[in-house]
Amino acid sequence: MFKRQQNPKYSNIILQKAMKEIEKLLKDLEKEGKDLTRMKLKKYQKTHHIDCKCAKCRQASAKKDPALRGLREFGFKVFVSELDPEE
């Protein structure tokens, strides 16, 4: 989503942008009438498709380790739990 730099100034800018996006997302959920007391954040990682033939995916197939597949996307999902709040 954001390009990573080694400079601490850039990491602060990225953090501020991410926090603005999260705040916008939460405001949208609140406008939809969602109860944010049951809000959940979940990290996710999306890897290449199983039929991908890039170098990392070929290596993952050869070693039979799907964790070696190339990472395409990394982020988080925000949702409101419909079940038990302790879950």
Question: Residue 52 in contact with residue 43, Cβ under 8 Å?
Answer: no
pLDDT digit string, tens, across residues 19-68 = 898 889 888 888 988 778 877 778 877 778 878 888 888 888 899 888 78
Give the pLDDT of residue 5.
55
Terminal Cα-to-Cα distance of the chain (whole angstroms): 29
